[in-house]
Structure 1
């Protein structure tokens, strides 16, 4: 019995020695390949995380500009300078013309600010689209329209109408913000933190419920 054990041990050692001499290079090659594969996976994950972070920063920058447009619209449409017009008399023509000039100048500045900020948004959206995140272009068109349409005639609007216009501008800005984050989450879905044990338990619970429903 001892001879059999000794012979088996010698045969095993001879096999290992023979395999090591003949196929040892394969083990080294496989090890190198596994290391290179691991490096590649790590590099791709690092690039993906960096791109995700940069895209999130772009979306945050766009959202900040959108909030600025929303605040400007709210301030402009709900300003307290809108008062009921008094009948214009001859000796008040100069004063009336000065007020009209002030309103036109203010509305022109407001339109210029809104268009400048929307132009910034369009530039940032182009960068996002180059990264694969596409935003509907008509959303920004709605923002411009709701924020600036007939803004030069603000003194002819009632208080209720001005409140409605301000709310429309805010709502259109919120739609852009929502679309931005929805597109971002669809392109970069949140990481599921559920463990493998929790998943297995959930599957067993579903199977138990299905089994109970068959009875």
Structure 2
């Protein structure tokens, strides 16, 4: 019996198996990257929510009769952000700089909220500017860390 075809078949089968392994590994990495970006997008949405709630409170006068309600809304969003940042850390995204920027958001949002009625419009505008700056710093740092974790390939 002639077995000359056996080495060629073994090589072809090995190449196919290696090819499928490469495709599987690439698919797994792509799925993990997409899931990580999804978490980052959820964080960005929470940051936008904080900005909107803060603008409503400081400039439009919503929740001014009950500042604790505003504080509760903001703190719940910040807590969600903190938990999502921890998820990013588990996915090997460097979050040290990002996590250090959570407190400035909290401070800028909740500082002096109980004296809202006695504050001038200029003070309120300055306050909302501080909130927007702290949220922008956070968002930029998050984007930077995501780019470091998943660099763009040409």
Q: Under a length normalisation based on structure 2, what TM-score does the superposition of the two structures give?
A: 0.88
1:179 is matched with which residue?
141
Aligned to 2:85: 125
Report the Cα offset of residue 80 of structure 1. 5.1
Does the aligned pair in 2 maintain the 1:133–1:187 contact within 8 Å? yes
For residue 11 of structure 1, what is the aligned residue in structure 2?
A: none
Deviating beyond 4 angstroms after TM superposition, the runs of 4 or more aligned structure 1 residues are: none
Please list the CA deviations of residues 159-214 of structure 1 after superposition, one character each: whole Å capped at 9, or x if unmatched: 2111111011011111121122221122112231xxxxxxxxxxxxxxxxxxxxxx
Counterparts of 1:80 and 1:47, CA distance in 2: 48
Whole-angstrom distance in 1 between the partners of 2:86 and 2:142: 13
Listed one character per residue, the Cα deviations across residues 30-51 of structure 1 (whole Å, up to 9, x for unaligned) are 2222111111110011011111
Q: Which residue of 1 aligns with 2:104?
A: 142
In 1, the alpha carbon distance for the partners of 2:124 and 2:82 equals 27
Deviation by residue 1:38-69 (Cα, 9 ceiling, x = unmatched): 11110011011111111111111111111000
Distance in 1 separating the partners of 2:11 and 2:52: 61
CA distance in 2, matches of 1:134, 1:35: 37
User: CA separation of 1:141/1:161 partners in 2, compared to 1, >3 Å: closer, same or farther?
Assistant: same
1:154 aligns with 2:129: no
SS of the counterpart of 1:155? helix
Hey, what does 1:96 align to over in structure 2? none
Instruction: Report the secondary structure of 2:151's partner residue.
Output: coil
Residues of 2 paired with 1:123 and 1:170: CA distance?
Answer: 21
Counterpart of 2:37?
Answer: 56
Bigger Rg, structure 1 or 2: 1
Task: In structure 2, list runs of 5 or more residues that go unmatched.
Answer: none
The CA distance in 1 between the partners of 2:80 and 2:91, in whole Å, is 17
Q: How many residues align?
A: 151
